């Protein structure tokens, strides 16, 4: 009687790891070009802040949906196979955005680009399968570092590309790099065998969550950009509530849910989810409002800064956000997640309230972005690390994926709220937001951050009962 012997996985070398790293670099660049160029895109496309916020949010929405299922697809069908197909979708989205003649086509391109979020867990699957534990940790760190570095590159080059060529090229050039790198990864990376699984992909949950998020974002745009009668606003609210209720019902009954909502019943999990949502909503408002104020004409309260200079002013904040991810893990080990969240919330709230009163120099906005990016990064990383150690080992993947989804949704909602506030405070003749709209936006961002302190207090009382 013969036994089937499984051959060990093929080891990969530096060229394969380098290919994954360069792919992550190009993806990070494509993801980040919108933030500094958003005011320019609004001018070129003739849209207001609320519609402009959708350009950034559609990518985030797709990412929130793809994140929980990318790893499952990679395990089931093979990491390389799924990665190549996702990159084909991303490339189609990047090329579509690069050729987009109007906002709807650009939004469709951004939706397709959003599946890039799935590249990271798929890269980790490939690294784990083809490298021993010690080297795989180094390789994962390299991929993450290059993805973060790509975000910085995109922030810096978006302005020069858009101003010297056109905004279409800031999508097209990273996409060309992604296509070339994907071809290289296809040739260099060995195939990894799929892992048989009886778990079904929760496609109804995917569709309902996508619909809910899109309805929320489009609802905010519609309500703030048009003079709707009360029944129309109520109808939008009913649609959002119905989609959300349907998603919750599907997730509770699914054998293998996209997001295991039962985890939220645990005190450590629900408090971490609420805190992550509040922190990232506040930060999402900051991410949107600061570049908008940089771009407002210098005749009044703004600065009239070019897209290139906006990228330079945002760069320290991008660096602070990258550094915060590593600092957050150290801080939670030394002080605990509660203390880290409290300090981060106080810093963010104080910074935004101060910015609402004092925003007469560009360096003040740049400093505010640095402080809030660092505080938000440290806080959310501390919550992620604290939760990963608070739940049972077998629940770590479910818990952390839920927080990642919450993090993305919070940022998307914050961006859209910022756009809604500016749209509501825009001059009907010029379309330019009044200074009071920015003051309101900064103050609301600070108050939202301060809500974290209330959540921490309530959560502490709940655990003491």
Q: Which CATH architecture has domain 260-465?
A: Up-down Bundle (1.20)
Instruction: Please list, in sequence order, all residues whose beta carbon lies within 8 angstroms of the beta carbon of residue 98, skipping any fewer than 6 positions away.
Output: 109, 168, 169, 171, 172, 175
pLDDT of residue 185: 84
Q: What are the phi and psi torsion angles at 426 (to 5°)?
A: -85, 145
DSSP state of 426: B
pLDDT of residue 461: 60
Q: Where are the alpha helices (DSSP H) in 8-132?
A: 14-32, 34-45, 49-77, 79-99, 103-113, 119-130
Secondary structure of residue 136 in the 3-state scheme: helix
CB 220 within 8 A of CB 417: yes
Which residue in this structure is represented by tokens 């969240």? 341
Topology of 10-190 in CATH? Growth Hormone; Chain: A; (1.20.1250)
Beta bridge partners of 426: 433
CA distance 377 to 355: 20
Integer-rounded Cα Rg, in Å, for the chain is: 22
CA distance 76 to 196: 6
Global confidence as pTM: 0.79
Q: How far apart are the first and last CA of the chain?
A: 61
DSSP state of 5: P
CA distance 374 to 205: 33
CA distance 193 to 2: 22
pLDDT of residue 226: 59
Give CA separation, 398 vs 92, 250, 395, in Å: 30, 17, 5
Give CA separation, 107 vs 52, 55, 98, 212, in Å: 10, 6, 11, 17
Q: Which of 276, 217, 234 is nearest to 56 (CA)?
A: 217
CA distance 440 to 147: 34
CA distance 62 to 203: 14
CA distance 215 to 213: 5
Secondary structure of residue 166 in the 3-state scheme: coil
CA distance 259 to 295: 39
Q: What are the phi and psi torsion angles at 46 (to 5°)?
A: 70, 40
Spell out the domain ranges in the chain.
Answer: 10-190, 202-255, 260-465
The token pair that represents 352 in the structure block: 């935004």
Beta bridge partners of 433: 426
Secondary structure of residue 132 in the 3-state scheme: coil
Question: Do the two domains 10-190 and 260-465 of this chain adopt the same fold?
Answer: yes
Maximal CA-CA distance, the chain: 86
pLDDT of residue 5: 43
- Please give the chain's pLDDT, 465 residues, in tens: 444 444 455 566 677 777 888 888 898 899 889 889 989 998 898 888 878 888 878 888 788 778 767 777 777 777 788 888 889 999 999 999 999 999 899 999 998 998 887 777 777 777 766 666 666 666 766 776 778 788 888 888 999 999 899 999 999 999 999 999 999 888 887 777 766 666 677 788 878 887 887 787 777 767 766 566 777 778 888 988 999 899 888 888 887 776 667 777 777 788 888 898 999 999 999 999 999 999 888 777 888 888 899 999 999 998 888 888 677 777 777 887 788 889 999 999 999 999 999 999 999 999 999 999 999 988 888 887 777 666 665 566 567 667 777 888 888 889 888 988 988 888 777 778 888 999 999 999 999 999 988 888 877 665 555
Q: Which of 89, 58, 420 is nearest to 225 (CA)?
A: 420
Which residue in this structure is represented by tokens 């600070």? 446
């Amino acid at each position: 009687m013969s036994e089937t012997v499984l051959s060990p996985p093929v080891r990969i070398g530096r060229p394969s790891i380098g290919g994954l790293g360069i792919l992550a670099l190009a993806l990070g660049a494509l993801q980040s070009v919108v933030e500094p160029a958003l005011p320019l895109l609004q001018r070129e496309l003739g849209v207001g802040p609320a519609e402009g916020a959708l350009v950034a949010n559609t990518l985030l929405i797709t990412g929130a949906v793809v994140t929980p299922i990318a790893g499952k697809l990679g395990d089931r069908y093979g990491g390389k196979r799924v990665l190549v197909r996702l990159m084909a979708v991303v490339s189609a989205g990047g090329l579509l955005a690069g050729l987009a003649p109007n906002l709807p086509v650009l939004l469709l391109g951004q939706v397709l680009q959003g599946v890039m979020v799935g590249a990271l867990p798929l890269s980790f699957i490939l690294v784990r399968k083809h490298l021993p534990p010690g080297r795989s940790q180094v390789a994962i760190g390299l991929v993450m570092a290059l993805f973060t570095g790509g975000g910085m590159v995109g922030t810096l080059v978006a302005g020069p590309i858009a101003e010297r060529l056109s905004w279409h090229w800031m999508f097209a050039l990273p996409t060309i790099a992604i296509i070339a790198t994907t071809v290289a990864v296809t040739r260099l990376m060995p195939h990894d065998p799929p892992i048989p699984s009886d778990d079904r992909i929760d496609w109804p949950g995917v569709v309902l969550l996508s619909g809910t998020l899109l309805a929320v974002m489009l609802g905010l745009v519609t309500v703030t950009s048009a003079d709707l009668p009360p029944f129309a606003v109520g109808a939008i609210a009913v649609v959002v509530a119905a989609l959300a209720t349907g998603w919750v019902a599907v997730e509770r009954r699914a054998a293998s849910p996209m997001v295991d909502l039962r985890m939220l019943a645990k005190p450590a999990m629900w408090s971490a989810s609420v805190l992550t949502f509040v922190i990232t909503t506040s930060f999402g408002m900051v991410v949107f409002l600061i570049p908008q104020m940089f771009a407002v004409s210098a005749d009044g309260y703004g600065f009239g800064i070019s897209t290139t200079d906006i990228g330079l002013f945002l760069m320290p904040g991008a660096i602070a956000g990258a550094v915060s991810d590593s600092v957050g893990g150290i801080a939670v080990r030394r002080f605990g997640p509660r203390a880290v969240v409290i300090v981060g919330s106080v810093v963010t709230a104080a910074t935004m309230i101060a910015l609402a009163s004092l925003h007469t120099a560009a360096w003040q906005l740049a400093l505010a972005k640095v402080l809030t990016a660092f505080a938000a990064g440290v806080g959310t990383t501390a919550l992620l690390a604290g939760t990963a150690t608070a739940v049972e080992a077998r629940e770590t993947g479910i818990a952390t994926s839920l927080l990642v989804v919450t993090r993305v949704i919070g940022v998307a909602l914050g961006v859209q709220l910022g756009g809604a506030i500016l749209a509501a405070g825009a001059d009907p003749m010029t379309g330019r937001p009044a200074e009071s709209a920015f003051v309101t936006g900064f103050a609301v961002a600070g108050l939202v951050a301060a809500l974290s302190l209330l959540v921490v207090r309530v959560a502490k009382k709940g655990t003491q009962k």
